[in-house]
Amino acid sequence: MFFRMITGAFRRQWKKMLMIAMTVALGASIATAMLNVMLSVGDKINEELKAYGSNITVVPRSEAVISHLYDVDETEEQAEYLPEETLGEFLTIFWANNIVDFTPLLDTPATVNGQEVPVVGAWFDHHLAFVKKGTTYERNTGIINLRSWWDITDGTWLDEAKLKGDRYAMVGQKLAATLSLKAGDTFTVATDHGTETLTVTGIFESGDDEEGMLFTTLSTAQRLTGAEGQYKKAEVSAITSPDDELAVKAAKNPDLLTGDEYDLWYCTAYVSSICFQIQEAIPQASASAVRQIADSEGKILEKTELLMALITLMSLIGATLGISNLVTSGVMERSAELALMKAVGAKNGQITRLILTEIILTALVGAAVGYFMGYAFAQIIGQRVFSSSIEMSGMVAFLVTILVIAVTLVGSLPAVRMILRLRPSEVLHGGH
Amino acid sequence: MSLLELKDISKIYGNLHALDHVNLTVDQGEWIAIMGPSGSGKSTMMNIISCMDKPTTGQVIFDGRDITKDSRRKLTEFHRDKIGLVFQQFHLINYLNAVENVMVAQYYHSMPDEKEALEALERVGLKDRAKHLPSQLSGGEQQRVCIARALINSPSLILADEPTGNLDEANENIVLDLFRQLHKEGTSLIVVTHDPEVGEVAQRIVRLEHGKIASDKKNEQFAE
Amino acid sequence: MNKKHRMFIRMVMASLLRRRSRMIVALLAIVVGATILSGLGMIYYDVPRQMSAQFRSYGANVILTPSDGTALKDSAVNQSMAFFPSEQLEGYTPYRYENTKLHNLPVTLAGTDFASVLKTSPYWHIAGTLPNQNGQTLVGKHIAEQFGLRVGDSLEPINSFEVTEDMDVTALLPEEVYTDPATGERYCDHILSLTVAGILETGGSEEDYIYVTLSDLKDFTLTDRGYDIVEVSAAAREDALKGYLTAINQQVSGVSAKVVKRVTASESTVLSKLESLVLIVTIVVLALTMICVATTMMAVITERRREIGLRKALGALDSSIVAEFLSEGLVLGGIGGLIGSILGYLFADVVSMNVFSSAITFRPLLLPITIVVSVVVTGLACLIPIRSAVDVDPALVLKGE
C-alpha cells in the first residue's frame, strides 16, 4: 500500500515533483561543479605557475661548497661536473610525475670574433630515454618550457628534433646586437678546447642577463668545454605542495622527523622532499629550492585555493537554501491532500514517512541528474580556463549525495511540523 | 420582460452531451433552483449562465442582448456587471480580510468603497467581523462574506453553486434566510444544488437529467 | 482613480505581509540570488587587484640600471619613482656592488637598504636577523659555507688600494695606511669590521654575496658613486608597467628601466587564467542560482492559480491580474535585491579579509545592478506562471479540487 501511495503521488504530482527534482538537480550541479573545480584548482594553477620557470636547481655536491671560490676568475676554475646519465634519474624518483620539465646547463666562457662571450649549453626540447632495471623512462624536456617568458624576436626556437646535427645557437638580443648576428647567420666560437661553427636559429629577448649570452646545444657546449658527457647544473621545474609546518621542520633536518612524519613528508610533494629524493637518486648532486619561485608559488596557490573554497562555500549555501526553499513550499502545497489522509485516519508517522520517502526519492533522482550536469559544468570551466579536463573526485559524488539528502530532510522539516499540527477540518473547510 | 433566455442550448464535450437542446427563460426577480444528480449538466448550465463558458450551439439572451457572440473581453465586462457569484468553497482570498474581499469585487467592477462594502457586510450580519481574515471566520460566516461580495455591485442575477454544500444545518438556514430576504428585495436568484432541502425553498424548480430539462415547475410550497 | 490605486496597493501589501511564510520563502530565494550576484561580482572585480598584490611575492618586476654605464644617483631614482602611482608602488631597493677580498679570496660586497629589501625580495630566507645597523652583515649561504661563517661571527674584508694625492684618508685609522719604504708610495688596507646578523638562503645567485649597509660600503670604499641597480616592485599589470617605463626612459636621463620579463610575463599568464576562472565560475553559479530563483517564484505563483481564477470570476481583466501579481513580484525583487546586494558586499568583504587580509573595494555600481537584475529575474519568473494561470478557464480552476 505504501508503495502504491508513493507511485500514486508521483503519477499525480509529477509536475511538482519534476520541479523539485529540477531544483535539486541545479543545486547539486552547482555543488558538484564547484567542489570538483575547487579540488583541482590547486593543480591547475600550479601548472600555470610553471611559467615562472624552474623551482629547483641541482649542482654537483662538492660545488656547493667550493666552486664559488673562483667565481670571479673563471680561467682558474677547477670545474666539477655531473655525468649526463644522471639526468635520467629525475624520471625515477617517487615524485617523478610532478617533475614537469628539466634541463642540464653547461656554461663556459668563449670568444666570438675576439670578443668574450658567455656560452651556455642546454637541452631545448630534448628527447630523453632512460633505461633503469629493465624499465624505459621517456620524456621530452628542455628549456623551451623553462623560459616561457622569452620572446623570440627573430627566427625560431632551436628545434633539436628537426635540425640536423647540433651546431646551432640561440643568441640573446643584447649579444646579437654587439655581434651583429641575426637568424640564419653562421659564426665561429672558440675556446681552449676547440672551435665550432654554429648557425643562429633565433634571437631572444628575456629581460635579464641571459640577453647577453649565447645558448647552444649541450653536446656542442660539452665539446667547447672539453667536458664530454657532463653538465654543470640542472634546472628542474616541479609541481609542489605549499610548505607547511612539517615541511619547514623537515627542511631544517629530515633526520629529526619521527617515522610517521618522515613518511608523510616523503610522500608529499613538498619542494624539500623532492630535493631530498633527487639527492637520493643522484648521490653526487645537491638539489635546492629556488626560493623566489617555490615560496611565491606556495603563497599564490594557498590564496587561490582559499578563494575558491570560499566561493564554493557561498555557492553551496546558495544551492542549499534554494533546494530547501522549494522542498518546503512543495510539501506545504500538498497540505490539503495530507490533511485528507489525516482525516481518513492516517497516523502522523505514516504521513511523515510517506512524504519523506517521496521527497528523498525525488531529490535523489535530481541529484543524479545534477551530478552529470555538474560534471559538464566542471569540464566547461576546465576547458575554457585551463584547456584541460577537470578530474572528477569520487568523494564529491558521495558528498553531494549526503548534502542533498540532508538539505531535503531539513527543507521538509517545517512542512512536516506543519502537517503534524494540522487539524484536518481546517484544511478541508478553508478551501485553500 | 425576461431577464435571461436560453434558446436551444447544447454543450458537447467530445461525445458527451453535457447539455442537450435546453430551453429556459428566467424572469426578473425570480428565484429558481436548478436540481439534478451529479453529471446531469448543472455545472455546465451554471457556467454558461455566468458567462464563464460558451455553449456549443444555441443562444444566450441576457437583458435582451445575445451574448453568445460577444468577445471574451466583452463577456468578462458583461459578467462582472450583471452577475454575482456564490461558490460552494466560498473562494475568499485568504490574505484579505472580510471587507477587503468584498472590496475586490468593487475594485474589478468600478471603484472600491469601504463604506459601501461595510454596508454589504452589515446586510449579511457580519459588520463586526469585517476586519477578520477568512481563516478566522466560520464556514457560515465565510459564505456570508461571499454573498456580500456577490451583492456589492448590485447585479441583475445572483448565481449560487451549491451554496450550502460545505455548511452545517444552522449555517444553511442563515444562508437560506438571506436568499429569502434578497428575493423579497427583488433580486433574481439561481441556485444550483442537489440538496432537496435547499432546492425546495425556491420559487421555481428546474430538474435536469442527462443534459435535458426533465421538469420545470412552480413550487407550490413556496412561501412568499 | 485614487481609490482604485489605493485598493491596488492595499491588495499587494496584504498579499506581501499577510502571506508571510510564503513571501519569506520567495524573498529568501531572491536574497540568496542577489547575494551571490553582488558577492561574486565584487570578488570578480577585486580579484585582479588583490591577486596582483599577491604576485608581488615574486619580488621586483622592474629594474633600473644606469643607461650610461656609470651609476644611478639618488635624484634620478627619486625622479623615476614618481612615475609609479604610490598605491601601486610596493617598494624599491638600491644595490651597489663592489669587489673586494676576504682572507685573500675575492668576494663581492653588495650595499643595500635593509629596510626595503624584503619589499622587493620577499622570498629571502634569513637564518638569524636582517641587519638593522651599520657594522652588521647578511651573508649569502655559499659564502657562509665557504668561509665557515655562522650568525654572530665577525668578518673583516679588506680594501687595499694605493692612496693617491687627491684622496682624503684622514678618517682612516693610522695603522691602515702605510708607506712602501722602497717607492715612497702610500698604500691603504682599509678594514671593514662586520658581524654576521643573518645568513641568506634563496637558492639563487644572491647566496654568493655579502650584503652590507650602503653607508658601510661608502666608508669602506671612500666613495659614494651611486647604485648599480635599483629593484622595484610595483603591483601593476604588464601593460601599465610598460607605460610607466616608457615614460621613465624618455624623461629621466641616465636611467634605463626594464621589466623583469620572467616575473611580469608569467604573472600576466597566471592572472588572466585566474580572472577567467573566477569569471566563468561566477557566470555558471549565477545562471544556476537565477534559475533556482525563477523556479521558486514559479512555484509560489503556481500555488495561487485558484486565486487568479477567482479574480477572473469576479470580472478582473487579464491585464489587471498580471499587473497585480507582477507588482508583488517586483516589490519582492526590489527588497530581495537590496538586502542581497548588502549581504553580498559583506560576504565579499569576509572573503577578501580571509584570503587577502585586506578590505574589498566597494563597487557602488553593483548595488543598482543587483537590484535591477533581481527585479527583472523575479518579474520574468512571475510572468510565465501568471500568463499561463490567466489563460486557464476560471470555471475549471474554481471547480477543480
- Condensed to tens digits (0 to 9), the pLDDT of residues C364-376 reads 888 999 999 999 9
Tally of domains within chain C: 2
In three state form, how does the secondary structure of B4-42 look? EEEEEEEEEECCEEEEEEEEEEEECCCEEEEECCCCCCH
Nearest CB to A299 within list C21, C57, C263: C57
| pLDDT single digits (tens) C130-157 | 999 899 999 998 889 888 898 999 998 8
- What is the model's pTM? 0.76
Q: Is A1 a residue whose pLDDT tops 80?
A: no
Q: How far apart are CA A115 and CA A213, in angstroms?
A: 12
The residue extents of the domains of chain A are 2-46+299-430, 55-289
**Helix (H) or strand (E) run with residue B44 in it:** helix B42-49
Sequence-distant (≥ 6) Cβ neighbours of residue B176 within 8 angstroms: B164, B198, B201
**B89-125 exposure pattern, b = at least 16 Cβ within 10 A, e = fewer:** bbbbbbbbbbbbbbbbbbbbbeebbbeebbebbebbe
Please give, rounded to a whole number of angstroms, the shortest distance from the CA of C357 to a CA of chain A. 10
Return the pLDDT at C283.
85
The span from the CA of C362 to the CA of C367, in Å, is 10
The shortest CB-CB distance from C32 to any of A72, A299, A321 is to A321
Q: How far is CA C119 from CA B170, C58, C116, C122, in A?
A: 90, 10, 5, 6
**What pLDDT was estimated at residue B224?**
62
User: Among all residues of chain C, which has the CA nearest to that of B152?
Assistant: C314
Within a domain: C234: yes
Contacts of B199 (CB under 8 A, 6+ apart): B33, B35, B191, B193, B205
C251-272: average pLDDT: 86
Parallel, antiparallel, or unpaired for β B2-13 and A99-112?
unpaired
Beta-bridge partners for B32:
B190, B204
Supply the pLDDT for residue A431.
Answer: 40
Work out the pLDDT band at A72, boundaries 50, 70, 90.
very low
Contacting C with CB below 8 Å, chain B residues are 43, 47, 50, 52-53, 73, 76-77, 79-81, 85, 87, 89, 91, 93-97, 100, 103-109, 111-113, 133, 149
Cβ contact C7–B87 (<8 Å): no
| pLDDT score of A12 | 66
Find the angle CA(C177)-CA(C180)-CA(C182) to the nearest 5 degrees.
170
| pLDDT for residue C209 is more than 60 | yes
ipTM over 0.85 threshold: no
Alpha carbons C383 and C377: distance in angstroms, whole number: 10
- Measured in angstroms, the CA of B220 and the nearest CA of chain C are apart by 32
The answer on C70 and C32 residing in a single domain is: no
Mean pLDDT throughout C120-128? 89
CB contact under 8 A, B100 and C11: yes
A85/C contact by beta carbon, under 8 A:
no
Q: Which segment of A321-330, B67-76, C252-261 scores lowest on mean pLDDT? A: A321-330
Return all residues near B89 (Cβ < 8 A) that are at least 6 apart.
A431, B166, C398
> How much is the mean pLDDT over chain B?
87
Residue of B nearest to C23 (CA): B95
- For residue C269, give the nearest of A48, A290, A326 by CB distance: A48
C395 contacts in chain B (CB < 8 Å)? 43, 47, 50, 52-53
Average of per-residue pLDDT across C244-258: 90
> Which residues, 6+ apart, have CB-to-CB distance to C305 below 8 Å?
C389, C392, C397
The residue out of C259, C284, C302 marking a domain boundary is C259
List Cβ neighbours of A109 (8 Å cut-off, separation of 6 or more): A74, A75, A116, A117, A118, A119, A191
The pLDDT tens digits for B187-206 are: 899 999 888 888 888 899 99
Question: What whole-number distance in Å separates Cα of residue C193 and Cα of residue C22?
Answer: 81
Q: Give the pLDDT confidence score for residue A76 in this predicted structure.
A: 39
Q: At what angle do helices C305-313 and C366-391 cross, to 10 degrees?
A: 60
Range of the domain at C355: 2-54+269-399
Give the span between the Cα atoms of B196 and B119, in whole angstroms.
32
* Contact check, Cβ <8 Å, C288/A64: no
> Which residue from C72, C142, C64, C77 is spatially nearest to C108, judged by alpha carbons?
C142
The whole-angstrom separation of Cα C25 and Cα C19 is: 10
User: Cα separation of A77 and B197, whole Å?
Assistant: 123
Q: Which residues of chain C are within 8 Å of residue B52 when distances are taken between CB atoms? A: 313, 393-395
Short-list A300, A243, A296, CA closest to A273 = A243
Chains adjacent to A (≥3 CB pairs closer than 8 angstroms): B, C
The minimal CB distance from A429 to the residues B91, B94, B166 is found for B166
Contacts of C274 in chain A (CB under 8 A): 45, 304
Q: Give residues with Cβ within 8 angstroms of A19, minimum separation 6.
A: A326, A330, C295, C298, C299
Closest CA–CA distance from residue B41 to any residue of chain A (Å): 24
Instruction: List, in sequence order, every residue forming a beta bridge with A115; answer none if it has no partner.
Output: A112
Nearest residue in C to B102, CA atom: C314
- Using only C-alpha atoms, chain B has a radius of gyration, in whole angstroms, of 17
Select from B86, B153, B83 the least CA-distant residue to B117: B153
pLDDT value of residue A73: 44
Partners of A106 in the β-ladder: A121
Residue A242 is classified by DSSP as: P
Place of cell 666613495: C223
| pLDDT (0 to 100) of residue A253 | 78
Pick from A43, A307, A362 the residue to mutate for testing the C interface (most C CBs within 10 Å). A307
Minimal CA–CA distance to B97: which of C315, C305, C14?
A: C14
Q: Report whether C138 contacts C198 (CB < 8 A).
A: yes
Which chain A residues have a beta carbon less than 8 Å from that of B90? 431
Instruction: Tell me which residue in C314, C395, C399 faces B104 most closely, judged by beta carbons.
Output: C314
Chain A residues lying within 8 Å of C105, measured CB to CB: 69
**Which residue is closest to A34 within chain C, CA to CA?**
C281
- Domains of chain B, with CATH numbers? 28-54+69-218 (3.40.50.300)
Distance from CA of C315 to the nearest CA of B (A): 5
Phi/psi at C326 (5° precision): -65, -40
Distances (CA, A) of C308 to A374, B91, B135, B175, C349: 37, 11, 19, 26, 43
Using the beta-carbon criterion (under 8 Å), do C11 and B91 form an inter-chain contact? no
Kindly report the nearest CA distance between residue A7 and chain B, in angstroms: 29
Nearest CA in chain A to B137: A430
d(CA B94, CA A392): 49
In angstroms, rounded to a whole number, what is the distance separating the alpha carbons of residues A290 and A236?
Answer: 10
Task: Categorize the per-residue pLDDT at A335 as very low, low, confident or very high, splitting at 50, 70 and 90.
Answer: low
Alpha helices in A170-225 (DSSP H): 173-179, 218-225
Q: Is the pLDDT of residue A69 over 50?
A: no
**C145 in the same domain as C40:** no
Measured between CA atoms, the residue of chain C closest to residue B103 is C7
Look over chain A and give the mean of its residue pLDDT values, rounded to a whole number.
83
Helix/strand/coil for C345? helix
Compare all CA atoms of chain B with the CA of C16 and give the residue at the minimum distance: B95
Q: What is the mean pLDDT of residues B159-170?
A: 86
Residue linked to cell 658613486: C225
Task: State the smallest CA–CA distance between residue A215 and chain C in angstroms.
Answer: 17
**In the predicted model, is pLDDT for residue C68 greater than 90?**
no
Average pLDDT over residues A187-199: 91
Inspect the interface and report whether the beta carbons of B135 and A431 lie closer than 8 Å.
no
User: What's the pLDDT score for residue C231?
Assistant: 93
The CA distance from A235 to B80, in Å, is: 88
Q: Distance between CA atoms of A107 and A220, rounded to whole angstroms? A: 11
- Say if residue C227 is in the same domain as residue C316: no
First to last CA, chain C: 37
Residue C246 lies in a domain: yes
Contact A68 C293 (CB under 8 A): no
Q: What percent of chain B has pLDDT over 70?
A: 99
The reply to whether C342 falls in a domain is yes
B199: cell is 432546492
Q: Hey, what's the cell of A95?
A: 615524485
Q: Does C20 touch chain B (CB under 8 A)?
A: no
Q: Cβ distance A163 to A169 under 8 Å?
A: no
Q: Are residues C308 and C240 in the same domain?
A: no
DSSP-derived secondary structure letter, A386: I
DSSP A101: E
Q: Are C48 and C275 in contact (CB under 8 A)?
A: yes
Give the model's pLDDT for residue A118: 93
Report the chain C residue with the minimal C-alpha distance to residue A306: C355
The span from the CA of A94 to the CA of C96, in Å, is: 43
C-alpha cell at A386: 585551463
For residue B95, give the C-alpha cell.
490574505
As a whole number, mean pLDDT of residues C117-131 equals: 90
C-alpha cell at A367: 541529484
pLDDT-derived band at C334 (thresholds 50, 70, 90) equals very high
Q: Is the backbone of residue C109 left (phi > 0), alpha (psi -120 to 50) or beta?
A: beta
Confidence category of residue C399, pLDDT binned at 50, 70, 90: low
Q: Is the pLDDT of residue B88 over 90?
A: no
Query: Is residue C182 assigned to a domain?
Result: no
| Phi/psi at B16 (5° precision) | -85, 125
Closest approach of B166 to chain A, Cα-based (Å): 7
Q: Do B92 and A431 touch (CB under 8 A)?
A: yes
- Are the beta carbons of C41 and C370 closer than 8 angstroms? yes
Contact C261 A149 (CB under 8 A): yes
Cell numbers that stand for A201 in this block: 636559429
Residue C367's Cβ-count burial label (10 Å; 0-12, 13-18, 19+) is middle
- Nearest chain A Cα to C276, which residue? A385
**For C310, which DSSP code?**
H
Report d(CA A357, CA A351) in Å as an integer.
Answer: 10
Touching subunits for chain C (3+ Cβ pairs under 8 A):
A, B
